[in-house]
Chain A
Amino acid sequence: MSSQPEPGAEPGSGRPDVLVHRLPSFALPFLALLCDHFTVLDPCTDSPDEPAHAFLARRAGLTRALVCVGPIPLPADTLRLLPSLRLVVATTTGVDKIDLRECRQRGIAVTNAGTTFAEDVADYAVALLLDVLRRMSTADRYVREGSWLKNGDYPLGFKLRGKQVGIVGLGNIGSHVAKRLQPFGCDIAYNSRSKKPSFPYPYHASVHDLATNSDVLILCCTLTEETRHVIDREVMTVLEDRGVIINVGRGGLINEKELVQFLMRGELGGAGLDVFEDEPNVPKELLGLDNVVLSPHSAALTPESFEALGELTVSNLKAFFSNQPLSCLVQGE
């Protein structure tokens, strides 16, 4: 027997309910900011021992807005526990874990992080590329373990100038990457859903074509049905044994099992990976490779990004509750 859901806010308090949907281990850094403006329902802290679906059924029946934090999935099952939901504010740019079809059918608007992370992710993509080519992390390890003293000079890396760099996905992040790489003397080309006339570099209609003409691929695109495993065996084969893949998009863009095989067999030059198919699990074979640089999905994580994200989140929630237009809309109502 279902009980009447309790209202989340006192009548007339002027502080509407916002549900925070997150993994227990994933605190929302701007929670305090949200509490300044809204009544925050946070099952992880409000009722940690209660199963999430029970909490939602009991408390969130009238909740109209939800903040979806980081990598937590938002499947149809969960959405169906929220009959009054009209808005999902994602704190990430990628929304591949949110059931967009269910939202579309219910007329629930979805917003994402827009460009808040673009610069920081682009910076990290360049950092990974420099690290893989110049072997920075392995060289740093070499020094710290005393090998420079014992074994002498460190093996040579590879020059960046003159390398053909193919950018997969020319959105905000991809454009920022291209801008940063330009003075390094790389030859830049790209693939994207559509050609960008204002972008002065060669366009390739398919990722395979792009890879045929590239020494390096930098993955900056969103994960969708079309882009899942876009980096497959064929693409890795044409990159050849000097080829380098940098991924700051989503793990699902690469066929990870194939990638591991190519790297283990020496059929790919190297990889810089910030994302993986099953985070935080990383294929153990990669942990032993010197031509691979790994990071824990942290390309976007700077204080400035989070401050901007906090402001964007609050601003979109305020706009929603006062019937103003939303920004960074992934899909409308």
Chain B
Amino acid sequence: MHVRPPKNSQSKDFLQMEGIGVLMTCPMFPYLEQELEQRFHLHRLWDFPSRRRFLEAHAGSIRAVVGDTKVGADAELIDALPGLEIVATFSVGLDKIDLGRCGEKGIRVTNTPDVLTDDVADIAIALMLGVLRKVCGCDAFVRSGKWKSGDFGLTAKFSGKSVGIVGLGRIGSAIAKRAEAFGCPISYCSRSEKPHVSYKYYPTAAELARHCRILVVACALTEETRRIVGREVLDALGPEGVLINVGRGAHVDEPELVAALLEGRLGGAGLDVYENEPEAAEELFPMDNVVLLPHVGSDTVETSTAMADLVVANLEAHFAGKPLLTPVI
């Protein structure tokens, strides 16, 4: 059921917005689709057999693109939409948006920072506990009936283990605060040392990995951080070490990671992201020292709703000539 806005001075803006063409790049959240549909003329890219067919039909009428971590706004799409004014991504990550091209053309970009920080940090801790305490393996053990024949055995203690965080931004800091409550000593690496931070700083991921048991990737994906976790870092982590990735699959050299795990050169891994989602390193499926999640870092009802509200609010602000709430450029 559509919600009718109250008849006041804002209703003119509201009605005007109904004609604005907004392109959603892929299915991401039904609530977001509904909210966009109520306010704008929503086009769904996946309703068309190909991007080209969509562009032939509607390129000229699109003034906003709503993308996410699967399908964003690359240079080709941006160039094909002459009326494009704003890209509002349903994510905090910007790696699927050609920021350079947007900047050149004066196209605004917004994302959804802060609202998902807690959820991603929570998943990082869940993965740490999951890998060390073999929570998923224990659950499977009971479900299979094996408990009737014997005990599961000991699992690795989590409290007090040293945690190294790659990237001490919002998410990295939130992970640090949580791990501290378990008595975990915290260290980090970052583009530069952060003042007013009591955690130990290391200048490179490899140095960090040499000095911690659990390494968490929580930084943004940029040219510099692509494959920041490769053979050297994995070797430094070693057979007792655990890798947790809540960043992007591209942060990690996945073939090296798989080899290290299969050969026992790495102790374990908790992954929420992969190089080629939704493919998820199938070779790891039989292993009990890994936890594999389908990119659910921010996937809670509450956060998805808050992210959707932020996307809509940014678009409304833009078309009403008001300041954007969470602009990137």
Residue numbers of A with Cβ under 8 A of B are 25-26, 119-120, 122-124, 126-128, 130-131, 133-137, 139-144, 148-149, 152-154, 156-162, 179-185, 279-282, 287, 293-296, 298, 301-306
Contacts and interface: CB of A to CB of B under 8 A. Distances in A.
A158 B129 contact: no
B313 interface: no
Nearest to A131: B135
Interface string B149-187: 011111111111000000000000000011011110000
A162 B300 CA distance: 13
A313 to B, nearest CB: 17
Interface in B111-162: 118-119, 122-123, 125-127, 129-130, 133, 135-136, 138-143, 147-148, 150-160
B292 A295 contact: no
B205 interface: no
Interface of B: 27, 118-119, 122-123, 125-127, 129-130, 133, 135-136, 138-143, 147-148, 150-160, 177-178, 180-183, 277-280, 285, 291-294, 296, 299-304
A15 B260 CA distance: 49
A159 B118 contact: yes
B300 A159 contact: yes
Contacts of A287: 142-143
Given A127-B130, A130-B129, A134-B122, A156 B155 contact: no
A306 B151 CA distance: 15
Contact of A159 (B119, B154, B293): B119
Contact of A161 (B118, B140, B154): B118
- Output the residue of A26, A128, A160, A306 with the most chain B CB within 10 A: A160
Q: Among A152, A302, A304, which residue has the most Cβ atoms of chain B within 10 A? A: A302
B302 A159 contact: yes
A158 B136 contact: no
Contacts of B279: 149
A59 to B, nearest CB: 28
Contacts of B183: 119
A303 B157 contact: yes
Nearest to B300: A159
Given A140-B136, A140-B291, A123 B158 contact: yes
Contacts of B152: 295-296, 298, 301
A303 B285 CA distance: 26
A308 to B, nearest CB: 10
Given A127-B135, A156-B299, A159-B303, A184 B155 contact: no
7 contacts: A123-B133, A153-B294, A157-B299, A159-B301, A287-B143, A295-B142, A301-B151
6 tightest A-B CB contacts, nearest first: A127-B129, A130-B126, A302-B157, A294-B142, A159-B302, A295-B138
A306 B154 contact: yes
- Count chain B CB atoms within 10 A of each CB in A127, A158, A184, A303 and give the residue with the most: A127
Given A128-B135, A134-B122, A302 B155 contact: yes
Contact of B292 (A133, A143, A184, A185): A143
B71 to A, nearest CB: 13
A136 B181 contact: no
Given A127-B129, A148-B294, A185-B118, A158 B135 contact: no
A143 B178 contact: no
Contact of B177 (A26, A122, A142, A183): A183
Nearest to A118: B159
Contact of B125 (A130, A139, A143, A298): A130
A160 B122 contact: yes
B289 to A, nearest CB: 12
A153 B280 CA distance: 13
Nearest to A158: B300
Contacts of A128: 135
Contacts of B304: 156
B150 to A, nearest CB: 7
Contact of B180 (A130, A160, A183, A302): A183
B157 A180 contact: no
A140 B157 contact: no
Nearest to B280: A143
Interface-central residue, A135, A140, A306, by most chain B CB under 10 Å:
A140
A301 B129 contact: no
A259 to B, nearest CB: 15
